[in-house]
Amino acid sequence: MSKPYNNKAWFFILPVFACVAFSAILPLMTVVNYSVQDIISPTKSVFVGLEWFRQTMRDSELHDALLRQVIFSLCVLLLQIPLGVALALAMPSKGWKSSAALVILSMPLLIPWNVVGTIWQIFGRADIGLGGHTLSALGVAYNYTASPIDAWLTVLLMDVWHWTPLVALLGFAGLRSIPDAYYQAAQIDGAGRWAVFRYIQLPKMRGVLTIAVLLRFMDSFMIYTEPFVVTGGGPGNSTTFLSQYLTQKAVGQFDLGPAAAFSLIYFLIILLFCFVLYSWMQSAGSGSKSAVETPP
Amino acid sequence: MARIEFQGVGHAYSAHPAQPSDYALQPMNMVWEDGGAYALLGPSGCGKSTLLNIISGLLSPSHGQVLFDGKAMNHILPRDRNIAQVFQFPVLYDTMSVFDNLAFPLRNRKVGEKEVRHRVHEIAEMLGMTGQLRQRAAGMPADAKQKISLGRGLVRKDVGAILFDEPLTVIDPHLKWQLRHQLKQIHQQLRLTLIYVTHDQTEALTFADEVVVMTDGKIVQQGGPDALFARPGHTFVGYFIGSPGMNFFPITLAVDDAVEISGQRLAVGAATMAALRAANGKLCLGIRPEFVALAEPGAPGALLADITAVQYLGVCTLLTGAIAGLPVKAKVDSGIRVSAGRHWLRLVRPETIFFCNDERILL
Name the pLDDT band for A294 (thresholds 50, 70, 90). Answer: very low
Tens digit of pLDDT for each residue in A64-77? 888 999 999 999 99
Quote the ipTM score: 0.79
A177, A188, A202, A290: best mutation site toward chain B, by most B Cβ within 10 Å? Answer: A188
Q: Report the run of H or E that residue A211 belongs to, with start and end.
A: helix A206-221
| Residues of chain B in Cβ contact (below 8 Å) with chain A | 53, 56-58, 77-79, 83-85, 87-89, 91, 93-97, 99-100, 103-105, 108-109, 117-118, 120-121, 133-134, 136, 138, 149, 152-153
Per CB-CB distance under 8 Å, the chain B contacts of A188 are 56, 58, 78-79, 83-85, 105, 153
Residue in A181, A189, A200 closest to B87 by CB: A181
| Closest approach of A198 to chain B, Cα-based (Å) | 10
Interface of A with B in 243-272 (CB under 8 A): none
pLDDT tens digits, A274-288: 888 888 887 775 544
Residue A216 pLDDT class (50, 70, 90 cuts): very high
Other Cβ atoms closer than 10 A to B191 = 12
User: What pLDDT is attached to residue A175?
Assistant: 92
Q: Are B303 and B319 in contact (CB under 8 A)?
A: no
- By three-state DSSP, how is residue B286 classified? strand
Distance from CA of A89 to the nearest CA of B (A): 19
Ordered by start, the domain boundaries in chain B are 4-240, 247-355
B352 pLDDT band, cuts 50/70/90, is low
**Inter-chain CB proximity B95 and A285 less than 8 Å:** yes
CATH architecture, range B247-355: Beta Barrel (2.40)
pTM for the predicted model, two decimal places: 0.78
Contact B95 A191 (CB under 8 A): no
What mean pLDDT do residues A77-96 have? 92
Confidence check: pLDDT of B12 > 50? yes
The region that residue B315 occupies, defined by phi over 0 for left and psi between -120 and 50 for alpha, beta otherwise, is alpha
The answer on pLDDT for A290 being more than 70 is no
Contact B85 A292 (CB under 8 A): no
- One of 3.90.1150.10, 3.90.700.10, 3.20.20.140, 3.40.50.300 is the CATH number of B4-240, namely 3.40.50.300
Does the domain formed by A30-283 have CATH 3.30.428.10? no
Task: Report domain extents, chain A.
Answer: 30-283
CB-CB under 8 Å, A181 with B89? yes
Q: Give B77-125 pLDDT, tens digit per residue.
A: 888 888 888 888 888 898 888 999 999 999 988 888 998 999 999 888 8
The reply to whether residue A286 touches residue B95, judged by beta carbons under 8 angstroms, is yes
Q: Which helix (H) or strand (E) holds B226?
A: helix B225-230
